[in-house]
A and B are shown apart, each in its own frame.
Chain A
């Protein structure tokens, strides 16, 4: 795992959660990390200078709040429908991915980002037998969010070069 990439991923994830869903995170704390166990996940695949996927797994009990905040629903409004909750999760994943890639590869790089899809929470452990190259866990008010970036092929060397140029 790459510490620099973890830091970049954490920064983008925190900022996106706050600005898009008005969900604010706290420093990770092992004491509360495992309190919330049921996770729902979505992934988005990308290809370009390097290819891979970003997965976001979030505590299932957070989904209504995330969707409500994104939709701007007020107290007393009908709760978001299950489809809206999952769509909100996928949109969050998409926006984090879109903001993360230029931080890694520079703003001239062009990536193709596929439509986000639902995924198994275990996808945060990596794909195709490979562990993620970056991972971060954010503790939320009533749950947690885990982000994992997996990259295929020999891309990690490229990523490292790009990250060093940013630091």
Chain B
């Protein structure tokens, strides 16, 4: 199944880096949409079908934490695969995110970590895993 992916980060460069990783990987992609903060991310989620969200934490307008809280409050998105990519170093904060069922990837990251996380969460690109 080709994935509809939403990348949410206030850094356009970081969004481009993640997009590059996705394109380099064996992950089958449908549409990739971008948002620059949690509020825009929520709007994209309400407008489009999304299979996977890759989101940062520290963003203006609405943080990634708040966006995830709101996403998880929507019944149809309780199990939506979410990967958090952040330089956040607080284990307290990370533990709270993990309780929401997300994968956490620390910056700086290797492309393999993101691909592994996508595979774990969605089962995508399993056929290319060997």
Chain A interface residues (CB < 8 Å from chain B): 15-16, 19-20, 67, 70-72, 83-84, 87-88, 90-91, 94-95, 97-99, 101-103, 107-115
By the criterion of a CB under 8 Å from any partner CB, how many residues of chain B are at the interface?
A: 21
Beyond A70-B17, A72-B20, A102-B89, 7 additional pairs, beta carbon < 8 A = A70-B13, A91-B14, A94-B11, A94-B87, A95-B107, A98-B107, A109-B90
- The 8 Å CB contact of A115, one of B13, B59, B90, B92, is B59
Contacts A19-B108, A95-B107, A115-B58; A110 near B90 (Cβ below 8 A): yes
Could you tell me the distance between the alpha carbons of A95 and B60 in the complex, rounded to whole angstroms? 16
Verify if B16 is at the interface (C-beta below 8 Å from A).
yes
Instruction: Tell me how far the C-beta of A128 lies from the nearest C-beta in chain B, rounded to whole angstroms.
Output: 23
Instruction: Tell me how far the C-beta of B124 lies from the nearest C-beta in chain A, rounded to whole angstroms.
Output: 21
Q: Do residues B17 and A107 form an inter-chain contact, with CB atoms below 8 A?
A: no
Chain B interface residues (CB < 8 Å from chain A): 10-14, 16-17, 20, 58-60, 86-93, 107-108
B58 cross-chain contacts in A, Cβ below 8 A: 94, 98, 112-115
A114 cross-chain contacts in B, Cβ below 8 A: 58
Could you tell me the distance between the alpha carbons of A114 and B60 in the complex, rounded to whole angstroms? 8
**By DSSP majority rule, is chain A's interface helix, strand, loop, or mixed?**
helix
Q: Do residues A115 and B107 form an inter-chain contact, with CB atoms below 8 A?
A: no
Q: Do residues A84 and B12 form an inter-chain contact, with CB atoms below 8 A?
A: yes
Could you tell me the distance between the alpha carbons of A32 and B79 in the complex, rounded to whole angstroms? 55
Instruction: Tell me how far the C-beta of A75 lies from the nearest C-beta in chain B, rounded to whole angstroms.
Output: 16
Could you tell me the distance between the alpha carbons of A16 and B93 in the complex, rounded to whole angstroms? 21
- The 8 Å CB contact of B16, one of A71, A95, A102, A109, is A71
B87 cross-chain contacts in A, Cβ below 8 A: 94-95, 97-99, 113
B60 cross-chain contacts in A, Cβ below 8 A: 115
A70 cross-chain contacts in B, Cβ below 8 A: 13, 17
Could you tell me the distance between the alpha carbons of A88 and B107 in the complex, rounded to whole angstroms? 14
A95 cross-chain contacts in B, Cβ below 8 A: 87, 107-108
Q: Do residues A107 and B11 form an inter-chain contact, with CB atoms below 8 A?
A: no
B89 cross-chain contacts in A, Cβ below 8 A: 98-99, 101-103, 107
Instruction: Tell me how far the C-beta of A78 lies from the nearest C-beta in chain B, rounded to whole angstroms.
Output: 13
Q: Do residues B108 and A71 form an inter-chain contact, with CB atoms below 8 A?
A: no
Q: Do residues B11 and A90 form an inter-chain contact, with CB atoms below 8 A?
A: yes
Could you tell me the distance between the alpha carbons of A52 and B17 in the complex, rounded to whole angstroms? 28
Nearest-neighbor residue (CB-CB) of B23 within chain A: A72
Q: Do residues B20 and A115 form an inter-chain contact, with CB atoms below 8 A?
A: no
Q: Do residues A107 and B90 form an inter-chain contact, with CB atoms below 8 A?
A: yes
